[in-house]
Amino acid sequence: MNKKELRLLATKLKNTEIENPIHIMEVCGTHTTQFFHTGVKDLFPENLFLIDGPGCPVCVTPNGYLDRAIEIARTHGVWLVTFGDMMRVPSSYSSLQQEKAAGVPIHIVYSPLDALTLAQENPEMQVVFLSIGFETTIPTEAVAVKRAKQENIKNFSLLTGNKLTPPAVEALLGSGEVKIDGFILPGHVSVITGIKGWRFVAEKFQKPCVIAGFDTQNLLVGTMALIHLIQNKSPEIVNEYSLVVTEEGNVKAQEIMEEVFEPTEAKWRGIGNIPISGMDLRNSFQDFDAKIRFPVTPPREIEPGGCRCGDVLRGLITPLQCPLFGKKCTPENPVGACMVSSEGSCAAYHKYQRF
């Protein structure tokens, strides 16, 4: 699609007539940011509203997870290894950044395989990788664990905190807390899950949805397609990311995930416990489970007073409705996880739509 065609499509979206209010949810944190960054959200016609979903793995990780990670490092003297966007997320009483400043060995990597390499290069140290992510990162973690087992690397383990996105969407729909007329579904996650992973949205809950990519054209096409489905009362799934998303998804990635991990109940910030929404290591790989290898009793988990990150993640409010937003809570001094991650709703609003 050339620039002229894009402008025509943008004009078409802006001039779309919507009689009754339509509320659509974008599930993915990258979509949250891209709707702002591309300017597509500014083109929304009257009566079209965007609700931010729980599609930011850093944001939905509860404080208790970080509390445990910090306690493991303090008690057992291990090296914590993490992605960079976890460093400034507040725990109940500290953060990884504060712990590193106090002398706790914490390393930033770009992939689980980097963490495995760090363990190989430092056999005298126990390396614990903070395993936070959705379907897009879990297969790589499975590869790292399998390689560690095959090569008998005994100083590498995961503190599992991975989550599956479809169960969270099902939990939101089942709660009935928020009026959602349709969904923009995550392109990258759908590469792994396939279209079949989302069939329940249309079949069980009768909600239309569109799988979309992340650039301007993808968002314009996806939004227009979703409006059309909603206005025509068509509870269908439309795949507008067909170059990479198929019905079955990435079968090899699914197989290695299932070989190394098993679904379990998981706690989501703001939502609570959701059945079969987490991924724990199977019994055959428990030698690499940091919860088992490094037992601790973390302090009682607490949330910061006034922070409404959980309500943002459930779509109950926008970040602008949080009393701390842009005041006590800023990217430089985050109170809640939604202000830290580049995929967080509060961070996106603070950068693009404070006024």
Instruction: Look at phi and psi of residue 79 and say left if phi exceeds 0, alpha if psi is from -120 to 50, else beta.
Output: beta
For the chain, the domains span 3-52+169-239, 59-164+249-293, 309-352
pLDDT score recorded for residue 1: 81
Distance in angstroms (rounded) separating the CA atoms of residues 302 and 305: 9
Q: What residues contact 106, with CB distance under 8 A and at least 6 apart? A: 73, 79, 80, 81, 82, 87, 96, 99, 100
Return the residue matching tokens 């759908």: 190
3-52+169-239 against 59-164+249-293: fold identical: yes
Q: Which pair of structure tokens corresponds to residue 139?
A: 């297969």
Nearest Cα to Cα of residue 280 among 176, 162, 135, 130: 162
pLDDT classification of 350: cutoffs 50, 70, 90: very high
- Position 82 pLDDT exceeds 60: yes
pLDDT score recorded for residue 192: 97
DSSP β-ladder status, 22-28 and 48-55: parallel
Distance in angstroms (rounded) separating the CA atoms of residues 10 and 256: 41
**Identity of the residue numbered 225:** A
pLDDT classification of 344: cutoffs 50, 70, 90: very high
**Strand (E) or helix (H) holding 37:** helix 29-37
Nearest Cα to Cα of residue 11 among 32, 42, 35: 42
pLDDT classification of 7: cutoffs 50, 70, 90: very high
Name the more confident of 122 and 305: 122
Answer positive or negative: Cα dihedral of 163, 169, 173, 178: positive
Is 183 strand, coil or helix? strand
Distance in angstroms (rounded) separating the CA atoms of residues 79 and 73: 7
Answer positive or negative: Cα dihedral of 244, 248, 253, 254: positive
Taking only the tens place, the pLDDT of each residue in 159-217 is 999 999 999 999 999 999 999 999 999 999 999 999 999 999 999 999 999 999 999 99
Q: Are 247 and 194 in contact (CB under 8 A)?
A: yes
Q: How many helices (H) and strands (E) does the chain have?
A: 15, 11
Nearest Cα to Cα of residue 171 among 263, 264, 273, 262: 273
Is 54 strand, coil or helix? strand
- Position 331 pLDDT exceeds 50: yes
pLDDT score recorded for residue 280: 97
pLDDT score recorded for residue 93: 94
Nearest Cα to Cα of residue 132 among 152, 158, 114: 158
- Position 354 pLDDT exceeds 70: no
Q: What is the mean pLDDT of residues 119-138?
A: 96
Class of domain 59-164+249-293: alpha beta
Q: What residues contact 311, with CB distance under 8 A and at least 6 apart? A: 270, 317, 322
Q: What is the mean pLDDT of residues 256-272?
A: 96
Distance in angstroms (rounded) separating the CA atoms of residues 235 and 148: 45
Between vectors from CA 225 to CA 219 and to CA 229, what angle results, nearest 5°?
140
The alpha carbon of 326 is separated from its chain's Cα centroid by a whole number of angstroms, namely: 23
CATH 3.40.50.11750 fits 3-52+169-239, yes or no: yes
- Position 355 pLDDT exceeds 50: no
Q: Are 342 and 85 in contact (CB under 8 A)?
A: yes
Q: What is the mean pLDDT of residues 295-300?
A: 94
Q: Which pair of structure tokens corresponds to residue 241?
A: 């990311």
pLDDT score recorded for residue 176: 92
**Cα dihedral angle (51, 181, 39, 87), rounded to 10 degrees?**
30
Q: What is the mean pLDDT of residues 104-111?
A: 95
**Identity of the residue numbered 71:** E
Q: What is the mean pLDDT of residues 134-147?
A: 97
pLDDT score recorded for residue 114: 97
pLDDT score recorded for residue 353: 74
Radius of gyration of the chain (CA): 21
Direct distance between the N- and C-terminal alpha carbons of the chain, in angstroms, rounded to an integer: 32
* Averaged pLDDT score across all residues of the chain: 95
